[in-house]
Chain A
Amino acid sequence: MKRNAFRAALPHTLPICVGFLFLGMSYGFLMRSKGFPFYYPLLMSLFIFAGSMEFVTVNLLLSAFQPVYAFLLTLMVNARHIFYGISMLEKYRGTGWIKLYLIYGMCDESFSINCSASPPPGVDKGWFMFFVTLLNHAYWVAGATLGALLGYVIRFDTTGIEFVMTALFVVIFLNQWEQGGDHKAALTGVACAGLCLALFGSQSFILPAMLLMVICLSFGKDRKEAAG
């Protein structure tokens, strides 16, 4: 049963494999270039397993100790997972103990496969989704660790490598924009953050920006509601 599920899951995850190895490696390499030993990216990719937040955590670890801010920033950056969870309430139901791991490993990519792909007939749904999640998790940890290890061997001027995070978010922004995502919400995020950056400065703008964002979005009506 598990063998079939693994075989069915593997091809769905291959594109993710390429992406995760590349991004994971740049994350591990970035951590190493900032002076962290390889077990930092290894453990962080294993336990946090939320790519964009791991990049942000590099910055957190390099600045002053602000535990509340770190927690709130994580909630905000990963708020989309709440929506993923709401979408998967039905699908994850009745999968037994596997469900705990499915929720734990619900990154963007595992979510997108598990919510759209269905296993072929005769393959257990729970195990199929388990292997999708597990494989993605493994690619990410492997990439991050490999990148950090490469950082020991390859030596070159890494000034500016942190731009990989900016580029990643710009690309996600573009993808969401082109796939018909909520443009108003996207611009609200940019506008609230930009406004608060100008008002509060780069050290303390995130929390007011988040607050302003949630307020603006709570009062805004979405298109369907406005039409209906």
Chain B
Amino acid sequence: MTAAQRVITILLVVLGTMTTRFLPFLIFPEGKTPPAFILRLGKVLPYAAIGLLVVYCLKDAAAPPDYGLAEGIAIAAVVLIHRWKHSTLLSIGTGTALYMLLVQIFFS
């Protein structure tokens, strides 16, 4: 990607983000109520989008040398630590450190 293409990509991400933030205020100025199906989609999309993102992160995981084993172990650790301590920072920190250890030492 060239520098110009990078800038365009970043600007489009800014534009996309601002679209999602400003849209409701542009469509529904001063007390106009949105239609029911928009409200419903707005309610369920946040959950579905995170599920999609988890899969997005793992899209290339099933490749050699470990066929996703490192990801599997690290995610299991994140889930266990998070259910145990409920600390976002601890879960992310430990999970990432464990993953780095796995891919650098055991699956390199």
Same complex origin of A and B:
yes
Structural contact, B55 and A190, CB atoms closer than 8 A = yes
Give the complex CA separation of A58 and B92 in angstroms: 18
Q: Is the CB of A70 within 8 A of B47?
A: no
The 0/1 profile, CB within 8 Å of A marked 1, for residues 50-90 of chain B is: 11111111111000000000110011001100110000110
Q: Contact between B53 and A77 (Cβ–Cβ < 8 Å)? A: yes
Q: How far is the CA of A60 from the CA of B103 in the complex (A)?
A: 23
Which secondary structure characterizes the binding site on chain A? helix
Q: B residues within 8 A CB of A67?
A: 8-9, 12
Known: A74-B13, A218-B37. A209 touches B52 (CB 8 A): yes
User: Is A65 located at the chain interface by the 8 A CB criterion?
Assistant: yes
Q: Are A185 and B42 in contact (CB under 8 A)?
A: no
Main secondary structure on B side of the interface with A: helix
Q: Tell me the complex Cα distance, A76–B51, Å.
A: 12
Distance to closest chain B CB from A29 (angstroms) = 11
Q: Tell me which of B43, B56, B78, B88 contacts A56 (CB under 8 A).
A: B56
Whether A129 is near chain B, meaning CB under 8 Å from some CB there, is no
B49:A189 contact, CB within 8 angstroms: yes
A76 & B49 in contact (Cβ 8 Å cutoff): yes
CB nearest neighbor in A for B1: A65
Residues of B within 8 A of A53 (CB): 13, 16-17
- Chain B interfacial positions (CB closer than 8 Å to A): 1-2, 5-6, 8-10, 12-25, 28, 30-31, 34, 37-60, 70-71, 74-75, 78-79, 82-83, 88-89, 91-93, 95-96, 99-100, 102-104, 108
